[in-house]
Amino acid sequence: MSLVRNFTTVGGATMLSRVLGFVRDVLLAAAVGTGPVADAFAVAFRLPNLFRRLFAEGAFNSAFIPLFGRAVEEEGDEGARRFAGEIGAALLFCLLALTALAQIFMPFVVWGLAPGFSTDSAKFDLTVLMARIAFPYLIFMSLLAFLAGILNTYQRFAAAAFAPVMLNVVMSIVLGSVLAAGVEDNTELGIILSAGVTFGGIVQLLVVIADLKRLGFRIPVFRPRYTKSAKRLLVLGVPGIIAGGVTQLNIAVGTIIASLQDGANAMLYFADRLYQLPLGVIGIGIGVVLLPSLTRQLRAGEVSAYQVSLNRALEISLVLTLPAAVALAVVPHEIVSVLFQRVRFDAAAVDGTAAALMAFSFGLPAFVLNKVFSPGYFAREDTKTPMKFAAVGMAVNVCLSLALFPVFKHVGIALATTIAGWVNTGLLIIVLYQRGHFVPDFALLRRLVLVLLASLLMGVAIHFAAIVLAPSLSGSWLIVRAASLGLLVLTGVVTFAVFAQVSGGADLISMFRTLTRRNT
């Protein structure tokens, strides 16, 4: 299957997951609003989720896939099974030890992540309780990342991509039940939500285990040992934790500072969920497919194919990302109000979340490009260079967050994250180009300029469309508001498609034909 079609498999699954995630977040907003339970949930869920993204979308796979791919190439399936068994045993041991330590020291962990909560003992205690219940989610998601790396190496992307759908299904059922039962006690709400997260992690892992069984790949069981394989993975993985997870680490810094403002973590959470839709579908989808492809091409000495893959990934990602970023920047209030404003999620919450979403939107292209260019380093087993750039981004993020928070509150944190993302991604691109590992297709760059222009023209179109649709977007009937938002989105999609196709910025017709041929 081609890069485009593999991306479609992963991106389509991620799209389904994120759409169901919207359903989950709409129910979450109705159940908890931006009050103390929402703040506690944002921190408690972010703790294991931070590690999940580091493992599932960053450090672990960026280190594991090249090494596992080498084992498959050089030692065959038997050697690959032995390598997987050694790594799996070490990984599980580390996860169990980390979880045990986290359970014991959770009050200190929560204080470190949200020091502002310490002034409200009820919120602090609730966050500790919820974090303890939700933290085992990390175990299941890290094991999922491990198994997904094996499946991806064998060009099996579907199961690992569709697994996150199950978390949103489970959480939507849990939240729907909470709303139907009218649960209002904060502690009871917190326990139910956290338990739902952990149970959802178990269901996701079972989906991937089932696909691994269909593949016929059996992982031998070993006792945990510090083998040569584990040592090599550790050498590559530790720098990758910083490099692959810079966005998540930046968000963690923001969480600490935002804990000083009531409701800030909840508003940043909902804004983060919205811009994570295009980031997840495009950036993560590209990254998951691109790393095994680049690794395989470099192992085979296919340098020209490597360059084609990298340029193609750049084109796909920006053709899809630029219009999404412009739309989020132009109509954030309309998006947030239609999706979330009901029950406990009031007008003030809408205003705060929309402002944060606008700030995040400017960084969306940087976050996606990070997923495109990082594999250019990881495929060569170079995780130290991205680590250094991530450290620079972290420094920028911390300094700007501290400087902007007193003036712009939680929006300043979002702006700092955006600027840090651009700094980190800019360094990745420049050094990859200087090393000759990224040779841009200048005809492609010309087309991307046209795509940017088409995106800006689309932004103008949806701005005026939003003015025309304003009465129905703010009406009392949810179905009318949702239909109006759908019409606004359709206006943007059609406008961008026409401008991009006519100008020659993107051959969307050919891309569509490629996608529709995937099953023929």
Q: Which pLDDT band holds residue 203 (cuts at 50, 70, 90)?
A: very high
Residue 2: what pLDDT?
56
Supply the DSSP symbol for 118.
G
Mean pLDDT of 486-499: 91
Q: What mean pLDDT do residues 122-126 have?
A: 91
Give CB contacts under 8 A, 24+ apart, made by 223-229: 223/89, 224/89, 224/90, 224/92, 224/93, 225/86, 225/89, 225/90, 226/90, 227/86, 227/90, 229/67, 229/83, 229/86, 229/87
Cα→Cα distances 291→45, 436, 443, Å: 28, 18, 24
Q: What pLDDT score does 375 carry?
A: 81
pLDDT at 382 exceeding the cut of 70: yes
- Residue 517's pLDDT band (boundaries 50, 70, 90)? low
Confidence (pLDDT) at 492: 92
The confidence score (pLDDT) of residue 519 equals 42
pLDDT band, residue 518 (cuts 50/70/90): very low
Binned at pLDDT 50, 70 and 90, residue 173 comes out as very high
Q: State the pLDDT at residue 59.
A: 61
Is pTM, for the whole model, over 0.75? no
Local structure of residue 300 (DSSP, 8 states):
T
Comparing CA positions, the residue from 314, 327, 325, 324 lying closest to residue 446 is 314
Residue, of 489 and 184, whose pLDDT is higher: 489
Task: Read off the pLDDT of each residue in 505-509 and give the average, rounded to a whole number.
Answer: 72
Q: Express each pLDDT in 24-63 by its tens digit.
A: 888 887 888 777 888 888 888 877 877 666 655 556 666 7
pLDDT digits (tens, 9 = 90+) for 232-278: 777 766 666 655 555 566 667 777 888 888 878 878 888 887 887 77
At 61 the pLDDT is 66
Residue 426: pLDDT band (50, 70, 90) is very high
Q: Would you place residue 216 in the very low, low, confident or very high pLDDT band (cuts 50, 70, 90)?
A: confident
Tens digits of residue pLDDT in 50-103: 766 665 555 666 677 777 877 887 788 888 888 889 888 888 998 899 899 999
- How many Cβ atoms are within 10 Å of 92's Cβ, its own excluded? 16
State the Cα–Cα distance between residues 299 and 379, nearest whole angstrom. Answer: 9
Query: Percent of the chain having pLDDT more than 70?
Result: 86
Provide, rounded to the nearest whole percent, the portion of the chain with pLDDT above 90. Answer: 25
For residue 39, give the amino acid letter. Answer: D
Mean pLDDT of 311-335: 88
Q: What is the mean pLDDT of the chain?
A: 82
The average pLDDT across 397-407 equals: 91
The answer to whether 379 and 69 are in contact (CB under 8 A) is no
Alpha-carbon separation of residue 282 from 139, 171, 257, 261, 441 (angstroms): 26, 24, 29, 32, 21
- pLDDT score at 520: 40
pLDDT over 60 (residue 3) = no
pLDDT at 1 over 50: no
CA 220 vs CA 70, 84, 142, 166, 217: distances in Å: 19, 8, 18, 27, 10
CA angle 292, 205, 147 (to 5 degrees): 30
Mean pLDDT for 387-404 is 88
From 239-253, 422-436, 457-471, the region with the lowest mean pLDDT = 239-253
Mean pLDDT within 290-313: 77
Average pLDDT value for residue range 376-398: 84
Residues 472-482, mean pLDDT to the nearest whole number: 83
* 193, pLDDT greater than 70: yes
Residue 424 has pLDDT above 70, yes or no: yes
Cα–Cα distance for residue pair 336/350, rounded to 1 Å: 6
